[in-house]
Amino acid sequence: DGTHAVQLCRTFSPDYDHYDFAPQGEQSIFHARIKAIRNAQNYIFIQDQYFILVPELLDAIMEMMPSIERFIVIVQRTVEAGYTGYAKYLYDMVAPIQKAYPDKFKLYTTKESKQLYIHSKLVIVDDVYVSLGSANWNRRSMTSDTEIGINIVDTELVQSPDNITVNKLARNFRIQKFMEATKLTYDKLDAMTFLEACDALEAAAHDDGTSIIEPYSVEDQAHFDFVPDALRQIVDPDVEEN
């Protein structure tokens, strides 16, 4: 009798045949994420431990960027050893979006002085859709690692300061994430239009240290040329669905 429509999604590798409930594997997290991105009308917000190249997700984002107002990502800075290639894969995901849409795309990480580690796996779209679970933004979580996630759409609706009808749960969730990042109160953020809240987020990233976020600059590095393509299939394999 609640107001929340909840979809349970999973990833099971098709390379294993011992799951009676998923004999050919399952990639419903992957498919749901692509669908959610392609339905975006105003914004996409991501907070994740990783944000590395998943070609299908990048394609979906690039398809929607002309029509949405903002694409915001808060990600853990790359700390893995260079030989894993993760810094390159982050660059490969970020660079096309940043180059084409520098004003719409905002990339943040936490301030090193705060000594925080981002372990979230969160996607919010349009103050309408919330997705969270165990799956990282990488190929292995989308295609082969065993993962579980939930996607939530609330049937309880509210009117935003933008004069747009949105879901109460998703909007509250997004405001609380902005509170966490900016240290502004709920009431202040609640009164803002979405773009005003984005401006507050950007201001917080450049403040004197009160907030927890800062801009994350991801640049091409000379050693990226020496990361072999074969390494990708080892550290972040792509397993095709049967």
Segment 100-157, tens digit of pLDDT:
999 999 999 999 999 999 999 999 999 999 999 999 999 999 999 999 999 999 999 9
Higher per-residue confidence, 143 vs 78: 143
Considering only 33-42, 160-169, 189-198, 226-235, which range has the smallest mean pLDDT? 226-235
Does residue 242 surpass a pLDDT of 80?
no
Taking residues 154-175, report their average pLDDT.
Answer: 97
Domain spans of the chain?
Answer: 4-156+211-218
Annotation: CATH topology of 4-156+211-218: Endonuclease; Chain A (3.30.870)
Place of tokens 């090193």: 112
Tokens, residue 224: 């990226």
Does residue 96 surpass a pLDDT of 80?
yes
The pLDDT of residue 117: 93
